[in-house]
Amino acid sequence: MTQTLTIHPLAPEDEPSACRVFEAAIAEAFKQQGIGHCKSDIFKEIEAKKELVRSSLDPAGSPVTFLVAECKGEVVGAISFGPCGQEIQTCTEHELDGVGELGSLYVLPRAQNQGIGSALIKEMIALLKKRGIDRFCLDSGYLAAQIRWRRKFGEPYKIVEDFWGPDSPHMVWLCEVKDF
């Protein structure tokens, strides 16, 4: 799939497709985590991502940037960069408040494990370099993502055990842009 993949800044016409990516990928992530029954939490997470997309398209300006991955005319993935979110602020006791967060990385379930997420990360990091940004942070409470992030970004900057409940830690990474 990556041969026909294009990555570009989110445009207003991409909003519905990006939101569909969040709906499918977040529901699947919760299911894989064994918490697919937590419908209200899934709904809240999806709505938060939709609101982030809407705010990033605000003509008055937004501190959030989205990139989307498109394959054969269909948005199949998304990634954002903006101010660090509440979980990172809480987990790090505000140590990283001034560091931007690479987040909202989701790929349609049927398009996962094809390099789309890695391509989105690579493009976003290239954009950060162009903007002169030298660090970013990211976080995850999803076990599958934590495994991937450890492989890609090394050991977390901070692990908060039982953040989401027993045996459900939240992890935060702090990365140097120059390392990529």
Tens digit of each residue's pLDDT (9 = 90 or more) over 42-95: 999 999 999 999 999 998 888 999 999 999 999 999 999 999 999 999 999 999
User: Count of CB atoms within 10 A of residue 38's CB?
Assistant: 14
Q: DSSP code of 20?
A: H
Q: How far apart are CA 108 and CA 13, in angstroms?
A: 18
- pLDDT score, position 150: 94
Domain spans of the chain, in order of start: 2-179
CB 176 within 8 A of CB 134: yes
Average pLDDT, the chain: 92
| pLDDT above 60: residue 175 | yes
CATH architecture of the domain 2-179 equals 3-Layer(aba) Sandwich (3.40)
For residue 123 the two structure tokens come to: 């493009």
- pLDDT score, position 3: 60
Q: Tokens 């989307």: give the residue.
A: 68
Mean pLDDT across 100-121: 95
Q: What is the pLDDT of residues 159-169, one digit of tens each?
A: 999 887 888 89
Query: pTM of the full predicted structure?
Result: 0.91
